[in-house]
Amino acid sequence: MADRFGTSIVALGAALSTTWNRFWFTPAPARRLAVVRSLAGGLGLLLAWSWAGDLIAWFGPDGIVSPEVLTAWRSPTGLSLLDAARSSAAVWAFFLLGVVLLGMLAVGAWTPLVAPLAACFWASLLHRGPMLVGPADDILAVMLWCLALGRPGDALAVDRWRAGGAGRAAAPSWRNGLALGLLRVHAAVIAAAAAVAQLKADVWWNGTAAWFLAARESTRVDLTGLLAGSEIITNVVTHAIVLFEIAFAAGVWNRWTRPVVARAGLVVWPLIGLVAGELMWGAAMAILAWACVPDEAPER
């Protein structure tokens, strides 16, 4: 009996080890991660543009986010290279350098160096003004660090053209598999966290949350007329958002449902962002959904 139990434990451990290694370290082609790289770089440029207008007002020598304000808001372990910028010119120089890095990342130029530098720039910007950070900013930070771990310059990149390999695919790498695995984990966690947070509020149970989202001042597209015209539509939209978030968080882990929910996320996440007035967040979640799409259909 003891021998049989011991054999079962060993077999279980071997199966878990095999599954763990397969998920994190299976070599993957670079093309999917390269698309994530290009889209993340473009999203970073758009988000950086939203920071640029008030850059000196917030972070200049006499800016609103003074050292005292920053100490009250930022974690004691938080660090930012932007703290060293003591003049307006230095702040702008740091910011423009970061914009250049994001642009180079989008086109895949010198990616092994640019990807970690772009991640450091974005983290420094967010840590310099933590009270200003939006949900899309946080997701972009996750994507940039994941890209730094992979080899996103092996496809659809200037790097590939410079190396003379534009006409042929690079060999799959375990680093790409690791980066895509981390992106999938974060996509599922963010979707699950959104669903849990929403289910704590009564408006998501009674079906009126969609109306309150659409009526916010930050919403760029006015959907209040459509929702006000039908209580049924409002209830359907509200419950559909929660159900999709739950389905996405769970579905990306099953080989049969993953292609469906991941591809649906390419459309549904931007629509949710449209309703919620968070267009950049919806775009960021769509990029994460793209990272979850499998390269091959599951075997029958």
The model's pLDDT over 107-116, given as tens digits with 9 standing for 90+, comes to 999 999 999 9
Instruction: Enumerate helices (H) and strands (E) in the chain, giving the number of each.
Output: 15, 0
Residues in the chain: 300
Question: How large is the average pLDDT for residues 12-31?
Answer: 84
Confidence grade of residue 299 (pLDDT, cut at 50, 70, 90): very low
Cα 100 off chain centre by: 20
Name the 3-class secondary structure at 172: coil
Which segment of 33-42, 116-125, 178-187, 222-231 scores lowest on mean pLDDT? Answer: 222-231
At residue 28, what are phi and psi to the nearest 5 degrees? -130, 145
Other Cβ atoms closer than 10 A to 95: 20
Do residues 36 and 147 lie in contact, with contact meaning Cβ atoms separated by under 8 Å? Answer: yes
Tokens of 297: 């259909």
Distance CA 39, CA 283 (A): 9
Higher pLDDT, 109 or 2: 109
Question: Mean pLDDT for the chain?
Answer: 88
Distance CA 55, CA 49 (A): 10
Question: How large is the average pLDDT for residues 180-201?
Answer: 95
Tokens of 34: 């390269």
Task: For residue 92, give the amino acid letter.
Answer: W
Confidence grade of residue 230 (pLDDT, cut at 50, 70, 90): low
Cα 284 off chain centre by: 5
